[in-house]
Amino acid sequence: MSKKILVIEDDAIALRLIEYTLRKEGYEVLLAKNGLEGISKARSEEPDLLILDIMLPGIDGFEVCHRLRSEPQTTHLPVLMLSGKAQETDKATGMKVGADDYVTKPVAPRQLVSRIESLLARKTATKSKMIAFLGTKEGVGTTTMLVNVAVTLSQQGKRVIVTDLCSQNGNLIEHLGLKPENNITELLVKPIDTLKHRELEAALIVHHIGVRVLAIPHPCEEHREFSPTAVNLLLGRLREVSDYLLIDTSTPPSDLGKATITKCDLVVIVTDFKAGALSDLTSTAALLQKIGVAKDRLGAVVIDREATFPEEALTNMKSIIELNAKVRLLGIIPYDTKASLELVPGTAPLIISNPNCPMASSIREVASHIIS
């Protein structure tokens, strides 16, 4: 869905130019020719951003901004003031009454769009979450867990993007039954801050369930390894167009994985109930804290892949695991014979194929913890 921008401007020529520029970039544009009309539309239409001229008939732009900031419904609306008044005192007044940015006329279309994208990104980034999934070892079900959590979040109306930063043998694409049709190589060799949202969106593979996938090529003879800086700038831009960005990382994490993990809002450690699992969980948590992940940004999911415990006994394990591993437990996934047999890459994720089984219910609980 395109972002909705309200423009309050009484100059007909400037209004047409702004409207043309924004529509060309794919934005939905609402127009108002005076302050009172603009305030009314800001309340009723709930735009994503406001472009506000200062010199308006009736109440001026400063008063419009002041009123919008004083109302709970519009207090967080990003406001870009656009004016011919270039004095520092005017800019200071604009910022004082609550403007997020101040641009002096005339403004080039590209500069205007850049300022708009920056403000929208700032608004979205405060809401979006970047979450890494890391197994204590290979084969514990990390990718399966990530995929099913992603589907659960998507089913709840969240905009979800998943990507695979495993240094080798990453199979996120295969788990979703997709083919890496889109290549982001060209995106990673150009300045990330020049990318438009539609370019980012075009680089994503869309699954029919709504989850979008960023297929980052793994280093091989065909393409070079991308720098952590370039990839993390790209991930940061993807947060602008998602509510949740879920990242599959290798065990142990690569240099790229480490650079990404430290910027995540949450790192989910996935393990099982096999011998040594508790020790593996403890050491993995210690490693993550050593590279800079705060303890309160760690969570764990334990998968009972071999029915080590009966389902009724699993709830009693929570306190034992948290006490010994000193990691917050997001959930324990019980064993389910039928569901486990269906966990084959390329088939429908469990949360879709068998939504009422105990495993699916536990996965939804993990997703709820992530949301909260």
CATH of the domain at 214: 3.40.50.300
Q: Are 241 and 157 in the same domain?
A: yes
Q: At 254, is the pLDDT very low, low, confident or very high (cuts 50, 70, 90)?
A: confident
CA-closest candidate to residue 344, choices 174, 210, 215, 221: 174
Looking at the structure, tell me whether residues 121 and 202 fall in a common domain.
Answer: no
Do residue 214 and residue 350 come from a single domain? yes
The residue-averaged pLDDT of 240-248 equals 88
Q: Which residues contact 346 (CB under 8 A, 6 or more apart)?
A: 174, 175, 177
**Of 87, 110, 125, which one is at a domain's C-terminal end?**
125
Range of the domain at 205: 129-371
Residue 225, pLDDT > 60, answer no
Say whether both 61 and 121 belong to one domain: yes
101 and 138 together in one domain:
no
Which pLDDT band, with edges at 50, 70 and 90, does 86 fall under? confident
Let me know whether 75 and 136 are in one domain.
Answer: no
Same domain, 294 and 366: yes
Spatial separation of the C-alpha atoms in residues 146 and 134, rounded to whole Å: 9
Contact between residue 99 and residue 121 where contact means Cβ atoms under 8 Å apart: no
Same domain, 46 and 157: no
pLDDT for residue 313:
63
Please tell me whether residues 361 and 220 are part of one structural domain: yes
Type of residue found at 182? N
Q: How many domains does the chain have?
A: 2
Of 26-30, 48-52, 142-146, 303-307, the one with minimum mean pLDDT is: 303-307
Q: Which of 149-163, 180-194, 195-209, 324-338 has the lowest mean pLDDT?
A: 180-194
Residues 14 and 47 in one domain: yes
d(CA 362, CA 333): 6
Provide the whole-model pTM.
0.66
Question: What residues does 83 pair with on adjacent strands?
Answer: 104
Q: What is the CATH number of the domain that holds 37?
A: 3.40.50.2300
Same domain as 121, residue 136: no
In angstroms, the CA 128 to CA 264 distance is 11
Tokens of 265: 């809002």
Domain shared by 343 and 232, yes or no: yes
Alpha-carbon distances, residue 95 vs 66, 112, 321 (angstroms)? 10, 18, 50
- On the 0-12 / 13-18 / 19+ scale of CB atoms within 10 A, 132 is buried
The per-residue pLDDT for 222 is 46
